[in-house]
């Protein structure tokens, strides 16, 4: 059993600078959704989609924007950024796993590798030649760290992460299980009817505070490095090709793919399943919506989309069939229009 | 060498309740496709696409629907569900790997974990604090089970599966290599120009008889759990976001992605590469065709699609260019139509 | 520290049959991009997109086509296939990791498995019953090789690769971390309201010189094998369903998916995120562009596409809404056209 901590509402209000309306002595023992909360728990309202759940919540308190405060049936903590404030409160209830410093006896560490004494190296971990693990870093069970890698202070590889070769991870990064960083980029030259492998001599560089999702892959560069700047957040099953460069604070959702040598700016939001072809450039503050394909450089901030809307298959089929002749249709309309205007 | 078992046609007919037409004493020593079968093997016909192969099959017997029986050049076992009947017969020829109960000496088991004496724990497995493995369960080589997980009786984690934290797996589940269940959901709040991580305090709950494909990822919930009900079948490389809920008997094919807090009903079929955005609801018995994107809730059973059909690139390019001005085109047609009707 | 080798331009010219223009005594100590090269490095120009970087390059020499030679500000090696020639030169600077023959003491090898004395088996590797590892093969840290597998001479499984069962890998193959070959195909029969698993009795066969990307999955066949012919190159996170057959020299880019029983010809190029539905056939020398979906067999070589172009979301939304009524629009245009021609 794990003991849950308790905080009064007054403590939370003070610690996070939130305006309290209600009984400050209320004891908060946990966090929950509006719909799932019980007495003693605190919830939040950030997405208007869940406003209806506020009215019936059993939570003892809710973190919300000022405009929604009056509708709450309980105590409130008012925040101009309710989601962020709630995240800070929730962190109080997120107990750390029992990580202990030191190298597990089953780990296999090359004699030329350097592991800080305060780092934690889990069972079955392998660390290759000339690699380094910084102070407070955690390398979880089953991770394989190849040659010439570096893991910055306080970074955390959860479990079964692979850093293949020449991967430098900044400080305070979090890498989830199954992620593979530094595998060969997909470099091939066709040569007399056979593929010739192009050596991948670069590495991968991650800035500080990056997060890399489960089973995500980030290839190392062919000549230069593949680079993710600080605070880049990548979800699960994302593919980042060789020599890609991603600007600070950009977030990429699950199953997106970025092809080789693409450059993505800062503060971009790439939604799930989106694709970005190689050798193009996307400027800062661009949003790409789910499953859209970016085939050209984008030079202006804003939101971009492709695809067609979902329909019942029988309706869709009729429309899709017409797409095959859309150019013809447009030409016919132009002809009709011209005829009309010359009549 | 592995000894293959042998069954007479009469035995198969009787055991699976199939109508036999032909020599019941025929010995069946294996299963094969219609095109690949040799004497002594049994095949099946379920997909009409392969009807042409029936005529020339070398199989000694074929499982098929009554309507196709007359066309078979060999003995037949008639079934109203030929594919299911064949699956049952094929299972007779699928020898189990040599799994032995007990804990491999290289496994690392936390002292607070509970492993049933009849379970099999493979080489290099790690099991974390307070986790449990049920009777007859198999945890294959290289699996990492974190803290507070539970694996139900007779469930099978093939190899290199990761259960990160608070993952409860029902009975008779099958989880393929590289799958990662219970990693952090992708919860981020933008806060003064930097991402703030939202703690992921929930877990993952799998019902009984679920199957999870290779390299599939299922994130744990932010507050509530991510839930898959009984008999949910997930193919390879599928991404399931935090707090998703999937109804019983739903099947999701490879590379599909379901974003956070989406709810999918029972008996749904989500085809390969399909995407489902977050916070929406799909009712029971919905089919989504390959690579379609579901952006709104679906309240009526049926089949749904998006996308446009494949064409030769040069034709496609002309049509796709017109799509960029489709609204303009539609307006022009409306104007022409109105002019015509008012003339 | 790793010592970098040095070659004179004359040596490179001679060894790779390239026409030299410039000082043959120049010492080349490394390779780099045109933009990133420093004195003593050699670069290349193959993609016209980077022609502007040629003029200002600091490289001591550049590999390029004859037509670009005059524009180079430095020595040149002229090649009719500059990318392939550069790949060969770059390989001179790609030092091998320190692989040593033999079985690491932490590896767990079944007594019936056969490992060539010249093979290298890394830490934590498991090799199952009746599996074989050929001469010079490398099985990196954390790989799990199941039963009845074979790894050909000089093939290299980088790390954490899983061969589940009945997987035969040819010679000189390269398989990247997280790849899972030979997992169960997604075979299910609906039977009285529940899914019934269809046994997957086939295997996976890889020809020689294949490359399989990180976290890619290739399922084993249901009855026959899943087959990749020689020199097939697969990028990261690709999903290959059971009983797929891929012809020699075909390349498949990241996140593409091929559904069960599809057949792909030789010398095909399947771009990133593309989908190929099951049970269809694609002939030789077909290109499928990024994120396109192939739903029917292709019998003619050429390039094929689907999808619609990216636009700003507000423009896209208007056009996408019209797509829902495209059939109606086409009918209306037809009516107008007919009226006009009969007037």
Question: Per residue in A92-132, pLDDT tens?
Answer: 998 777 788 999 999 999 999 999 999 999 999 999 999 99
What's the whole-number mean pLDDT along residues B57-62? 96
What's the whole-number mean pLDDT along residues A162-178? 98
Q: Do C195 and B251 touch (CB under 8 A)?
A: yes
The alpha carbon dihedral of A321, A327, A332, A333 has a sign of: positive
Nearest to A111 by CA among A99, A126, A98, A129: A129
- Burial class from Cβ neighbours inside 10 Å (0-12, 13-18, 19+) for residue C17 reads exposed
φ/ψ of residue A177, rounded to 5: -60, 145
Range with lowest mean pLDDT among A131-140, B13-22, C87-96: C87-96
**pLDDT for A1:** 45
- Report the C-alpha gap between A12 and A17 in whole angstroms: 8
Check residues C260 and A3 and name the one with the higher pLDDT.
C260
Q: B: neighbours with 3+ CB pairs under 8 Å?
A: A, C
Instruction: Count CB neighbours of A52 within 10 A.
Output: 10
Q: Do B308 and C308 touch (CB under 8 A)?
A: yes
**pLDDT for C1:** 45
- Report the C-alpha gap between B186 and B222 in whole angstroms: 9
Measure the N-to-C terminal CA separation of chain A; round to a whole number of Å.
Answer: 86
Instruction: Evaluate if residue A342 carries a pLDDT over 80.
Output: no
Q: Do B320 and C308 touch (CB under 8 A)?
A: yes
Pairing of strands A311-312, B302-305: antiparallel
Q: Do C177 and A326 touch (CB under 8 A)?
A: no
Nearest CA in chain B to C199: B91
Q: Do B305 and A311 touch (CB under 8 A)?
A: yes
Instruction: Give Cα separations from B23 to B60, B63, B87 (angstroms).
Output: 10, 14, 22
Angle, alpha carbons A47-A53-A59 (nearest 5°) = 105
Instruction: Evaluate if residue C4 carries a pLDDT over 80.
Output: no
SS3 content of chain C, % helix, strand, coil (to 5): 15, 30, 50
Confidence of residue C317 (pLDDT cuts 50, 70, 90): very high
Residues of B in contact with A98 (CB under 8 A): 129, 147
Segment holding C319, helix H or strand E: helix C313-323
φ/ψ of residue C90, rounded to 5: -60, -35
- Report the C-alpha gap between C245 and B168 in whole angstroms: 37
Look up C176 and say whether it is catalytic: no
Bridge partners of residue B195, in order along the sequence = B190
**Helix C313-323 / helix C326-342 crossing angle, nearest 10 deg:** 60
Q: Give the closest-approach CA distance of B292 to chain A in angstroms.
A: 7
**pLDDT for A185:** 94
Instruction: Evaluate if residue A2 carries a pLDDT over 60.
Output: no
Confidence of residue A142 (pLDDT cuts 50, 70, 90): very high
- Torsion-angle region of B67 (φ positive above 0: left; ψ -120 to 50: alpha; else: beta): alpha
For residue B49, what are the contacts with CB-CB under 8 A and spacing of at least 6? C279
User: Which residue out of A106, A197, A282 would a mutagenesis test of the C interface target, given it has the greatest number of C Cβ atoms within 10 Å?
Assistant: A197
φ/ψ of residue C313, rounded to 5: -55, -40
Q: Do B98 and C195 touch (CB under 8 A)?
A: no
How many percent of chain C have pLDDT more than 90?
94
User: Which residue out of B122, B179, B180, B327 would a mutagenesis test of the A interface target, given it has the greatest number of A Cβ atoms within 10 Å?
Assistant: B180
Instruction: Count CB neighbours of A106 within 10 A.
Output: 19
The alpha carbon dihedral of C58, C59, C65, C71 has a sign of: positive
Residues of A in contact with B328 (CB under 8 A): none
- Report the C-alpha gap between B125 and A124 in whole angstroms: 9
Pairing of strands C194-197, C188-191: antiparallel
Instruction: Evaluate if residue C236 carries a pLDDT over 70.
Output: yes
DSSP B37-100: --TTEEEE--SGGGHHHHHT---SEEEE-GGGGGG-SSEEEE-TTHHHHHHHHHHTT-PPP---
Q: Which CATH superfamily is domain C7-91 in?
A: MurE/MurF, N-terminal domain (3.40.1390.10)
- Report the C-alpha gap between A333 and B202 in whole angstroms: 56
> Among residues B156, B172, B176, B242, which one is catalytic?
B242
Instruction: Give the number of residues written for chain C.
Output: 343
Q: Give the closest-approach CA distance of A176 to chain C in angstroms.
A: 13
Q: Give the closest-approach CA distance of B96 to chain A in angstroms.
A: 27
Residues of C in contact with A326 (CB under 8 A): 326
Q: C: neighbours with 3+ CB pairs under 8 Å?
A: A, B
Q: What is the CATH number of domain A103-304?
A: 2.160.10.10
Nearest to B161 by CA among C218, A106, C197, C144: C144
Nearest CA in chain B to A36: B224
Q: Which strand ranges, in their side-by-side order, compose the sheet holding A180-183? A: A108-109, A126-127, A144-147, A162-165, A180-183, A217-219, A239-240, A257-258, A275-276, A293-294
Q: Do C311 and A306 touch (CB under 8 A)?
A: yes
For the record, the structure tokens of C231 come out as: 């020199």
Instruction: Give Cα separations from A44 to A51, A65, B7, B203, B219 (angstroms).
Output: 10, 9, 63, 19, 21
CB A104 within 8 A of CB A123: yes
For the record, the structure tokens of C96 come out as: 């091998």
Check residues C342 and A236 and name the one with the higher pLDDT.
A236
**pLDDT for B1:** 45
The alpha carbon dihedral of C93, C94, C99, C100 has a sign of: negative
Instruction: Give Cα separations from B16 to B13, B21, B30, B46, C192 (angstroms).
Output: 6, 14, 16, 17, 14
Instruction: Count CB neighbours of A311 within 10 A.
Output: 18
For the record, the structure tokens of B197 come out as: 């991580």
For residue B92, what are the contacts with CB-CB under 8 A and spacing of at least 6? B5, B7
Q: What is the CATH number of domain B102-304?
A: 2.160.10.10
Pairing of strands B211-212, B233-234: parallel
Q: What is the DSSP letter of A160?
A: S
Nearest CA in chain A to C43: A223
How many percent of chain C have pLDDT more than 70?
99
B319: helix, strand or coil:
helix
- Report the C-alpha gap between C188 and A214 in whole angstroms: 27
How many percent of chain A have pLDDT more than 70?
99
Angle, alpha carbons C22-C26-C27 (nearest 5°) = 150
Segment holding A313, helix H or strand E: helix A313-323
Nearest CA in chain A to C83: A189
**pLDDT for B3:** 64
For the record, the structure tokens of C16 come out as: 């790779």
For residue B182, what are the contacts with CB-CB under 8 A and spacing of at least 6? B146, B149, B162, B163, B164, B165, B166, B167, B203, B204, B218, B219, B220
User: Which residue out of B1, B215, B295 would a mutagenesis test of the C interface target, given it has the greatest number of C Cβ atoms within 10 Å?
Assistant: B215
- All CATH 2.160.10.10 domain ranges of chain A, comma separated, are 103-304
> Among residues C242, C249, C279, C296, which one is catalytic?
C242
ipTM of the complex: 0.96
- Report the C-alpha gap between A162 and A152 in whole angstroms: 15
B237: helix, strand or coil:
coil
Q: Do A178 and B325 touch (CB under 8 A)?
A: no
For the record, the structure tokens of C140 come out as: 């990196």
């Amino acid at each position: 059993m794990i003991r849950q901590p308790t905080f009064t509402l007054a403590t939370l209000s003070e610690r996070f600078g939130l305006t309290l309306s209600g009984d400050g002595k209320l004891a908060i023992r946990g966090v929950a959704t509006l719909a799932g909360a019980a007495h003693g728990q605190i919830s939040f309202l950030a997405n208007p989609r869940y406003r209806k759940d506020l009215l019936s919540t059993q939570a003892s308190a809710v973190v919300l924007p000022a405009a929604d405060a009056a509708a709450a049936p309980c105590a409130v903590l008012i925040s101009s950024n309710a989601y962020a404030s709630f995240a800070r409160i929730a962190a109080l209830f997120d107990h750390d796993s029992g990580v202990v410093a030191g190298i597990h006896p089953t780990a296999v560490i090359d004699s030329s590798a350097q592991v800080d004494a305060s780092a934690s190296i889990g069972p079955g971990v392998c660390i290759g030649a000339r690699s380094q693990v910084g102070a407070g870093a955690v390398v979880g069970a089953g991770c394989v760290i190849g040659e010439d890698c570096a893991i910055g202070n306080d970074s955390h590889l959860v479990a079964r992460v692979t850093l293949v070769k020449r991967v430098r991870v900044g400080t305070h990064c979090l890498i989830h299980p199954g992620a593979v960083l530094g595998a060969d980029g997909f470099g091939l030259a066709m040569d007399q009817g056979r593929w010739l492998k192009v050596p991948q001599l670069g590495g991968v560089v991650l800035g500080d505070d990056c997060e890399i999702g489960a089973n995500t892959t980030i290839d190392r560069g062919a000549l230069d490095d593949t680079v993710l700047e600080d605070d880049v957040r990548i979800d699960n099953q994302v593919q980042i090709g060789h020599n890609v460069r991603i600007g600070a604070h950009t977030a990429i959702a699950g199953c997106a793919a970025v092809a080789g040598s693409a450059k993505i700016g800062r503060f971009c939001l790439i939604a799930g399943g989106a694709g970005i072809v190689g050798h193009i450039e996307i400027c800062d503050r661009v949003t790409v919506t789910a499953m859209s394909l970016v085939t050209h450089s984008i030079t202006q901030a804003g939101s971009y989309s492709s695809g067609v809307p979902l329909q019942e298959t029988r309706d869709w089929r009729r429309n899709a069939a017409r797409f095959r002749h859309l150019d013809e249709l447009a030409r016919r309309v132009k002809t009709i229009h011209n005829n009309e205007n010359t009549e």
